[in-house]
Every structure is written in structure tokens, then in C-alpha cells.
A and B are shown apart, each in its own frame.
Chain A
Amino acid sequence: MPINLWHENRVLGDFVQELEKKVVKIIKKKKANFPESFIQDITEAAKRHELTDKELTELVGQIKKAYERAKVEDGEAVGTVAAQSVGEPGTQMTMRTFHYAGVAELNVTLGLPRLIEIVDARKKISTPTMAIFFEEEFRSDEEFVRKMANKIGKSTMKDIIKDFNINYAEMNVIVELNLEKIEDKRLDYDDIIARIEKAFKRVHIDNNILSFEPTTSNIRELRLLADKIRDLQISGVKNIGKVVIRKEEEEWVIHTEGSNLGTVLKMEGIDKVRTTTNDIHEIEKVLGIEAARNAIIHEAQRTMEEQGLTVDVRHIMLVADMMTADGKVKSIGRHGISGEKASVLARASFEETGKHLLRASIRGEIDHLTGIIENIIIGQPIPLGTGSVGVVMKQKK
């Protein structure tokens, strides 16, 4: 979720705080039961328009009236409406998996495939990516950010080689390191050497000329060795590949291919509040279920907006809350929510009919018929909307 600008503003002065107190007081006086977010909205508007006390009181009154009118009705089938509102635009979305969104250098899955990925709560998403922000003092420090980028991003030997020779006569591989490139990438020379020595036992190091020998002397081995040398990872965080540095509104941001939130957050200078990933399971693991819920909302909404479709947050919230209600991220479908329903008939009518009926019979399950589909199946009114209330006529005496 985007950071709350409100709290930043608060630093600006006590004026706002006082105004907020006033708003709260007026709301109390008007006996309006507003959600928290309203108080902020009203205070901001009051500041923007420089409202007088009288105007403010009238405003609160008007909003109260509007709020009463806009409230959900009891028994409303919010679930179905949310599902339809999220599902219906699916037909209008593109299928093209890859899109260049924001950062031209990185591929990100978007459109319907991404939405399905979110709803499925896939463990392995097709294009994990991170946006890494920095703490205030490093935000405009390009040098620092570049250093971090090289620390995070994956570099292989390929990237720092000046000269590469396979010597078939002497059966060895001669590599000359490019010191300039090492410097440019802000890598540590000794560290690289240590890594090389760790990975290859039979290596001879002479300044920045390295010569490798294969374990057994044959051409096949030699060639395999050459590939292995070229692909040796000399720096980077696990699971993260390419990184891209970009200047976004006066601050430097790193975008990555691949994701490893846990490790990155522990690094120095990282803004732990705004740094994020699009891998929901990783967020759940590192930051917990509430964060995962917010991530689902954010990702789903971003996917919709990118396609030019507007879907009210409340619908997406409900989907996210349903997915995370049990304390772990569950998928929507037979392996998640639908497969764990209480009612046998509801499960049987969704998917895997036979399995659920057979299992219910040996377990001696009882269907209490509290859901929608069960009541439709047995032909009774459903416990939703107008079916959730009864009407009693007052008898005249």
C-alpha cells in the first residue's frame, strides 16, 4: 500500500493536529459514527478550503447524511458482488503475459495471467520482482545505491573478464580479470578471489591472470570447466538476478528480477517501510499475514489499473480478506477456500464430486445447510439478502 501521506504532513505542524481534534469533537457532537479514514479526509479538506467552524459543522452534517445513504444493507450478498466485480473485467483483459511496466528493462507478468496467479496464491510466481527503496540519507546518494545494487544483483565471472582463453594444448583455461570493470561494479577484488578459490580447487592465481585446470584432462571436461568459470556467481543475493537502477522523482530506486525480501531487508540503508516484492508468499513469510493481505490488495489493484479497469478496493479487499482469514494465504479454488468449505454439498457441487461424497460417508459428516449452494440444491430459500429476513404481520385485535 502506498505510504500514508497524512502522517508525513503531521510533522508540518500542530495546526493540523489541532484541526483534527476539532473535527473529532464536531463529529462527536453530531453523533456521527465515522470510520477513521473519514476524519483524515475531512481534516484535509478543511485545511485545503480553510473552512470556518460553521462550515465545518455543516459539512460533517452533510457527510453524515451521505454516509447513512451509502451504507451497505444488512444481508447484502457482498461476496458474490465482489467476485463478479473482480471476475467480470477478466474478459476484457489482455492475455499477453509480458508487458513492460514502468521499468523498460524488466519483464513483469500482467493482465489476466497475473490476476489468476494472485487468486491462485501460487507458491512460485512467474516473474518475481522487487522495488528497493533507501533510507532518507542515502536516497540521493548514487554511489551508495550503485554499490548496493551490485551487492544485491547477480554478477558472474562473465561480467568482469577482460580476456578468456581455452588452451587445448596445455589443457587449461586462462582468464584475465578486468580490474576496471571490477572497480566500476564496486566489487571487492579479494572477495572475488576468495570465491574463485572456494569454487575451483585447481586454480593458479598470478596477479589478475588466473589459470584453471580441469580435474581430468580431456577436452569435454575442459569445455565444461570453461562454462562453469564463466557462470560462476561472484556477488549477489540468492534468488535475485538482474537489477536495474532508476531515478524516480529525486530518489534512486533498485528494481530487481527475482526476489528475496528477507535478506534485502536486513541490509544496511534499506528503507524497510517502502521496499517491497510482488511475491505474496514471501511477504507472508517475512512480514506476516496482514502484510500479505495488503500485498494481495495492492497487486490485484495494480494489475487492474494497468489494464485501465476500475474496480472498487472494497471488492478486492474482500477477496484478500477471504484468502487470508485463517492466518495463512489460501488459494481460491479446490485446493484452498472451496475445498475447505464446511458443507459437503457445496464442495461436491464445485469440483471433485465423488471424492467429497465418499469421504463424507466414512467420516459421517453432517451438512447443516447454512450456505447458498446447499439450499439451492435442496430447494429452499437462500440465507442471503431478502432470504435472510422474515416478515411478521402484526395481528389486529
Chain B
Amino acid sequence: MFLRGILKKISQINFGLMSPEDIRKMSVTKIMTPDTYDEDGYPIENGLMDPRLGVIDPGLKCRSCGSKGGECQGHFGSINLARPVIHVGFADTIHKILRSTCKSCGRVLLTETEIFEYKTKIEHLIKNEESLTSIIKEIYAEARRDKCPHCEEEQEDIKIDKPVSIVEGNYKLTPSEVRERLEMIPPEDALILGVNPEVAKPEWMVLTVLPVPPVTVRPSITLETGERSEDDLTHKLVDILRINQRLKENMEAGAPQLIVEDLWELLQYHVTTYFDNEASGVPPARHRSGRPLKTLAQRLKGKEGRFRSNLSGKRVNFSARTVISPDPNISINEVGVPELIAKEVTVPVYVTEWNIEELKEYIKNGPDIHPGANYVIRPDDRKIRIYEETKEVVMEKLEPGYVVERHLKNGDIVLFNRQPSLHRMSMMAHEVRVLPYKTFRLNLCVCPPYNADFDGDEMNMHVFQTEESRAEAKSLMRVQEHILSPRFGGPIIGGIHDHISGAYLLTKEDSVFKEDEVFQMLLRSKLPLPKKTGNPWTGKQIFSLLLPDDLNLVYKAEICRKCDECLRNECENDAYVVIEDGILKSGAIDDKAYGAFSGKILDHIVKEYGTDRAREFLDASTKLAISGIMIKGFTTSTNDEEIPREAKERIEELLDKAENRVEQLIEAYKNEELEPLPGRSLEDTLEMKIMQVLGEARDKSGEIAESYFGMDNHAVIMALTGARGSMLNLTQITACVGQQSVRGGRIKRGYSERTLPHFKKGELGAREGGFVHSSYKEGLDPLEFFFHAMGGREGLVDTAIRTAQSGYMQRRLVNALQDLNVKPDGTVMDNRGVIIQTMYGEDKVDPAKSDYGKVVDIDKLIEGMRIKSNK
């Protein structure tokens, strides 16, 4: 349970082929009977469930090793095959080897000099542990000769008939003949053919003995009805045994060659499917129900296979999963854990003289009262469950050296994760806050890195079980250590939605608060209270309380309208933010200040004042923004998208004009008066021009609508401060939805020569091509609605495909790059020791610690230096 130091380390794993002798030596029994249990339910001796193969039931002892069920890993048995069969996995290799060797003398079809050359090359490659694949491919191609250079024998062409038949000329070689030929190959030649004589002989690729895996590998399950259901592998082994038996009997009885060959072929089929039930050219062996059997290769392969599902990843204890919900009152570093979960997942604590009293208190609380304990582990590793009845006794016995598994409590470090874990910020360490109810609670600022929302998302929590892991998590994985994203060196954690609009309402130009309101807000944000003056406060004054005293910063806010000439301090939108010595002199606070992905102030604070200060700033500023929004009040409805009648008329007029223009364009096209754009066909030109006209029409109608929107409109505040939504969204609601697109253009297909049966054939005007003239608020007519749904559906399909594609790309990228490592001298090396970069990123700078990719902003540094020296 505790990492008690590594006693032994695996230094290498050697791969090799098993010889028939190895298999026999390893085998504890020969398997002969194709049955598993007799009528009384006892395993049959020499059957597939032979008790010597190991035990599964706890309580029974293994007949081979004497250890108890659960401890015995099982022992292999073996089946002597009546006739040899080819191993499917090696059929291809066998074919290539036979093709490259002489049929009479067994030598490679290469001259002595060639053999020598290749041998030196291969030995060189083996010494350097490089891949042999390409050179062996070359040898296979080179050694395809008509005549043996050693014994002058003419060679016949050898083909492979998938999956395992090897045909020479017109004669199909039996596995026995194949094996004989492989036996002839001398070890030196085998090496050249890709079979390392130290661990494998070519003839071992043709099986004469089949290992039978222990029962632990293929446990049978007992159904509720008392019926036994055998594992797929057992089924397959039964088949093999049955045919093997029949083949043997027939051979002994001297049956006709034809029958023997048929049985032999059948045996080959069963052994083939036993290894790989998806081999090409073989009908898969099926279960009685028609389901294809899951045999050896299927067990290892793919996402649900042994490698990816059981070796690279494992199911773990001490984890919890539930729905998430927001809690603006906890810190970004914290996670709210339901009491129910806190009582289930535990933290092991060593009992020492210093904490024994505290731990006794937990045991006294028992498993049902919150800061309690569930188990006690004695120094002899016995685990004792604490019950309400036994807790007194356990408490008495507690002494240093024991381990108590106590409930999760406030301040514990846990790992919190949301799938898909696309980047390292998808798994961060949080501090526990045990809270009532049944959901995990998280601060809204950590939504962007997890990409979480609260429409039913669930997240996982893992509790660290060792001191080392806790220490590592606390210093490397805590949320505050991940405010800056390594992707671009800017903040990825920051204010969202109401934090942004709240801060804007708080700090905008004429925002003034009564002093008691201010004190209420400061109290709510857990900020130190200043002395009362009796004067009203401006929002900017309140926000300045959060800023470090020596902070100097100038930037343009999100609400900046990008005027041609910047008025700087006199900006009429209050978009020119100036912070001098920690005082917000001008400018409103919005997304650019402390929003996720773009917060300048936040970014500056993390980089200059460290992560602790940044966390404090974020916790306080978001709370302040929320209290600000609560005092000012904030709401939105479709009334926000209301425009006067005259505006509607103007828009109507504009759209009519545009539609007429489209008609004109079509007319010009039909009369062949349209001038094609360079490099475009006439049809394309028309399409592009129509798209352009309609696009402009939508934009213009939007501009008209926008001109009636002011900064007193809450929907507009949200759009312009970057809190949520965009001006486009608003104009689509108010003025005109615009062109719907499918496959990157207007809608063209559907019926022959028209998009819907409601139109005339051949017409492709604005309406016919999917231009939605109405606004969302007005409502779409049925045809527009249909086109809109077409566009919407494409978007959905697109997203579904994209997630699959980008997921696979990411898996490949991670797999290719995961072994890279920065060495102390700044070089990047992979695990072979190959240098990939001589200096990481050409300057050794960690993007996560950089300022948007730069070490420092030199201009900012110089300005800062000059301000300082001027004082």
C-alpha cells in the first residue's frame, strides 16, 4: 500500500520463441480429454480444467505449487498435436523464408559474399539496437532466385494462399513438409532471414506441441441457474482436442489419405482461430449464439485489449465520480466534495506520537460521522474495519506504527479530472472542502481548463495515498500553478460570463457606490476594510483595492472599438485602461483584464507576483464582480433586441434591394453579360458575387440594428465586454439571420434543379439558395426554417467527425513524442538517446513560463525601468 522503496527493478525484457521442448518442460500435464468437468462437477484429470493447471476458488490448494487460490497464478499444460500445424502469425514469415531458401539444401539463395555482407550489416544493426525491418525486407527481395547458388538446384515459385497454405508450383506443401524445409536452414542463414538463432529456430514457427494456458487465464463462470459457462479459449481448446483426437485415431486406424488430410486441415483451422479469430481468409469461429469468439489475438489487440485497457491504464480505488455544479464562494484551488463521498474515500495516515490523539478522535467518530475513519491497518498488515460496535476496542489498541484510513477532510489534496483529458490542465490538484449535498462544487474560473459546464457534466476525483504523491501534487499540479497555459504562455484560468459583465458594471465610467454598499461588497469578497470616509466610491476605486501597490500597466480593453485614431486617455468608450501604482486611473475592466485566455492584468500578476498572489487576485476580483453585479442588477430578455419600426423598415428596404441585386446578377448571368473573375468559371463567379451581395446585406442590416443599441443594453454589454455572445448573435436576433451554408456555399442540392419543390426549376435566387431574410425574433417562415435546419445539421455532423479525427491525431502525437525529455544541458533527447534538439525551442525557454512565447516583453521592461528611474 505504501511505496516502501523499490526493491527490484526490471532492467530488460527479452523476447523469443518457445521450442517444443520448452513447452513440454513448462507443462505440468498433458491434456488429452476434450471435456472439462464430469457429471458431479469435478474437473476431469487430463482434461482442460485439470486441477494441476491451478486453482481459482479461494480455499482450495493448488495441486502443482501448493499455494492457495488467488495466490497461484496457474500452470501451463500442453497438447501434443497429431500432426504439425502452422502458426498463423508466422505464416507470412514462413512463406518469405521458404521463398528465399533452397528447396534441397536449405541455404539462403544468396552467394557467400552477399551472405557475408548482409551478416555484418545485421550484426552491426543488432549491436546498435536498430530496426532490422528494412534490411530484412531487402534480403527477402534479393534472395528470390531461380537457381540455388550453393547446390545449383532449380527453384520453384512458392506462393502463399491466405491464411496458412503454402503452395509450391501447383503442389500444396503440408505443414510437415514445411517444417522439414525449415529444419534444413542452418543457423547462420536463419539470422539473415530475420530469425535470431539465439532465441528461435525457424521450424518452431510450425507447431508440434500446443501450450494450454492455465485456468486462471480462462476462468469459467457459474451462472445464476447453476450452469457453468466456459471461457472462449476453453471452447476453442475443446475443439482442438476433439479434432486432434479424431486425427490421431484415424491415422492409427490407417484411414485413407484424403480423410486424414481433411482432418489435418480442420485441425489447422482450429489452431488458427485459436490464435487469431480475425485472420483474413478464415471464417471466424463462432459461439453457439453466433457471436465470434474472442481468442488470443483479440484479447491483446485494440482499445479494449490487454495492452491499452489493462496494462497502460488501470481501474483504481479511492476515486469518486459525480455531477458537478458551480460554487462562486470557494477558491479556485478548492473543490467541494459531498460529505457522502468524503466518508467513503479515505486517506491513510501513519500513527505517530504527535497525531495519535487526533486519529483516536476520528476512530471515535466511526465510519458514519464525518471526520471519522473506516479502517485501521496493523503493523502486521492486517486490515481491520471500524464498526460502530468495535470502534472502542480498535481505539484502545491504536499505537504508533499503525495506519488509520481516515475520512477525507478539509484541506486534503485530491486530483480532479474531467474527460476528455486533452491537456495537462484536465487533471489538477484541488484542496478539499467537504460540503453538504451530492455534487462536486468547483469555482467558475476553472471551467475553461476543464472545458466544463454544468448541464450535467460529471467529473472524477482521486485521493492520493502516499505522502510523496501529495507533495508532488501540491507543488506541481495545484490549480494555481496552472493559471498560465503552456500552449501559449497566457492565462487559461480566469473570469468568465458574469465575472466579466460584473466587473464592467462595477468599473465603468459613471459607476458610483454608496459607502455602505462598498463595505458590504468588500466584506463579501473577504477584503480588508478601509477606514470610513463617508464619501461615495467610484467603481474604479473599489477595484484598485485588489491590485498590487506597485502595478503599472497600460492596455486597450475588449470594449475598444478600434477607432482609426486612438484618443488614449480621452477614450469615449472608457476602453483605454491605465493602471498606475496599483490604481485604476481610467478604463473599464472586462475580458481583457482578467478573463480566461486573454486577461492582461491577471497575466501580469502571475508573472510578476507569483501564483499565490494571482490566486488571491482571482478569488477576490471574481467575488467583487459578483457582488457588483448583484447591486447593479443584470438581466436580459428579447426586449434587449427590440428596435423601432423605422429601423425595421430600413432593414426591410435594404434586404429587398439586395435580393433585387441578386436577381439582376442572375439575369446578367443568363444573358451572358457577367464578366468572370480571373481563374473562375462563370457559375463560380455568379455564386461568389451572390454570396458577397447577401453577406454585405446581412452586415449592413446588422449595422442598422446596432446603431440603435447602446451600452445601457445588457445584451450589448455582454457581447462587447466579451462576457458571452457576440454582436452577430444580437443582429441575427434583431435584423436578419443571413445566408445558410452547406458544404461551404449556398444550398444547391435537393430536388432536380431546385432546392425544394416549392420553387420553379432552375431558379437559384436569394430565397432559393437558403438566404434567411427574417430575424430570429420575427420568426422564420417554413422554407427558411428548413434551410436553417440544414445548416444546423451540417454543423452537428461536422463536430461529431471532428472530435474523432482530432482525438486520433492527438493520440498519435502524444505517442510519438512522449519519450522526449530535457537533459540538464538543455538538449532534448528521446529514450534511444537520439538528440532531437540541441537546445530546447532554440532558446531553452519554457513556453509556460514565458510571456506569450517571449522571455520578457523588452519594451514593457524598458518602460518600467524608465518610470522607476524618473521617480
Distance A37 CA – B845 CA, assembled complex (angstroms):
12
Complex contacts, B840 vs chain A, CB 8 Å? 72, 78, 314, 318
Nearest-CB distance from B304 to chain A (Å)?
A: 12
Q: Are B17 and A361 touching (Cβ within 8 A)?
A: yes
Distance A69 CA – B486 CA, assembled complex (angstroms):
15
Nearest-CB distance from B165 to chain A (Å)?
A: 19
Number of residues from B at the complex interface, CB < 8 A: 104
Complex contacts, A251 vs chain B, CB 8 Å? none
Q: Are A340 and B858 touching (Cβ within 8 A)?
A: no
Distance A98 CA – B819 CA, assembled complex (angstroms):
35
Q: Are B680 and A369 touching (Cβ within 8 A)?
A: no
Q: Which one of A38, A242, A244, A361 contacts B15 once the chains associate, using CB atoms below 8 Å?
A: A361
B635 contacts the other chain (Cβ, under 8 Å)?
no
Residue of B nearest to A44 (CB): B858
A205 contacts the other chain (Cβ, under 8 Å)?
no
Residue of A nearest to B487 (CB): A85
Distance A88 CA – B448 CA, assembled complex (angstroms):
13
Nearest-CB distance from B432 to chain A (Å)?
A: 23
Interface range on chain A (Cβ under 8 Å from partner): 35 or more
Distance A337 CA – B809 CA, assembled complex (angstroms):
13
Complex contacts, A344 vs chain B, CB 8 Å? 13, 15
Q: State which residues 83-98 of A face B: CB under 8 Å.
A: 83-91, 93-96, 98
Given contacts A67-B845, A363-B196, contact A83 B831 (CB under 8 A): no
Q: Are B129 and A364 touching (Cβ within 8 A)?
A: no
B839 contacts the other chain (Cβ, under 8 Å)?
yes
Complex contacts, B199 vs chain A, CB 8 Å? 361-362, 364
A165 contacts the other chain (Cβ, under 8 Å)?
no
Distance A107 CA – B496 CA, assembled complex (angstroms):
37
Complex contacts, A337 vs chain B, CB 8 Å? 816
Complex contacts, B133 vs chain A, CB 8 Å? 359
Q: Are B810 and A84 touching (Cβ within 8 A)?
A: yes
B489 contacts the other chain (Cβ, under 8 Å)?
yes
B258 contacts the other chain (Cβ, under 8 Å)?
no
Given contacts A71-B846, A87-B806, contact A59 B821 (CB under 8 A): no
Q: Are A38 and B843 touching (Cβ within 8 A)?
A: yes
Distance A344 CA – B32 CA, assembled complex (angstroms):
35
Which of B507-515, B614-622, B847-855 is the contact stretch?
B847-855
Given contacts A244-B678, A314-B845, A380-B9, contact A91 B806 (CB under 8 A): yes
Distance A364 CA – B129 CA, assembled complex (angstroms):
11
Which of B112-120, B411-419, B795-803 is the contact stretch?
B795-803
Nearest-CB distance from A69 to chain B (Å)?
A: 7
B422 contacts the other chain (Cβ, under 8 Å)?
yes
Complex contacts, B301 vs chain A, CB 8 Å? 353-354
Nearest-CB distance from A55 to chain B (Å)?
A: 7
Nearest-CB distance from A271 to chain B (Å)?
A: 23
B255 contacts the other chain (Cβ, under 8 Å)?
no
Which of A185-193, A216-224, A383-391 is the contact stretch?
A383-391
Distance A246 CA – B680 CA, assembled complex (angstroms):
15
Dominant secondary structure at the A interface:
helix
Complex contacts, A48 vs chain B, CB 8 Å? 859
Q: Which one of A42, A369, A372, A380 contacts B818 once the chains associate, using CB atoms below 8 Å?
A: A372
Distance A228 CA – B844 CA, assembled complex (angstroms):
60
A70 contacts the other chain (Cβ, under 8 Å)?
yes
Given contacts A59-B862, A89-B487, A318-B820, contact A313 B841 (CB under 8 A): yes
Q: State which residues 307-335 of A face B: CB under 8 Å.
A: 310-315, 317-319, 321-322, 325-326, 332-333
Q: Which one of A336, A354, A367 contacts B300 once the chains associate, using CB atoms below 8 Å?
A: A354
A358 contacts the other chain (Cβ, under 8 Å)?
yes
A17 contacts the other chain (Cβ, under 8 Å)?
no
Distance A372 CA – B312 CA, assembled complex (angstroms):
10
Q: State which residues 1-51 of B face A: CB under 8 Å.
A: 6, 9-17
Nearest-CB distance from A84 to chain B (Å)?
A: 4
Question: 8 closest pairs, A vs B, by CB?
Answer: A79-B820, A87-B810, A90-B806, A314-B841, A364-B196, A79-B817, A364-B199, A312-B847
Q: List 23 A-B contacts (CB under 8 A).
A: A45-B858, A48-B859, A51-B862, A62-B865, A63-B858, A69-B849, A70-B850, A73-B822, A74-B822, A74-B823, A75-B822, A81-B848, A84-B487, A91-B422, A94-B798, A112-B806, A314-B841, A332-B813, A361-B199, A364-B14, A370-B819, A377-B311, A388-B821
List A residues at the B interface (Cβ < 8 Å).
35, 37-38, 41-42, 45, 48-49, 51, 55, 58-59, 62-63, 66-67, 69-91, 93-96, 98-99, 104-106, 112, 115-116, 119, 242, 244, 310-315, 317-319, 321-322, 325-326, 332-333, 336-338, 340-346, 348-350, 353-354, 357-373, 376-378, 380-381, 383-384, 386, 388
List B residues at the A interface (Cβ < 8 Å).
6, 9-17, 89-90, 93, 129, 131-133, 194-196, 198-200, 205, 276, 297, 300-302, 305, 307-308, 311-312, 422-424, 472, 476, 486-490, 677-680, 688, 743-744, 798, 801-803, 805-807, 809-810, 812-824, 826, 828, 830-832, 834-837, 839-850, 852-853, 855-856, 858-859, 861-862, 865-866
Given pairs A93-B806, A315-B487, 5 additional interface contacts (CB within 8 A): A80-B814, A318-B817, A343-B831, A358-B93, A362-B196
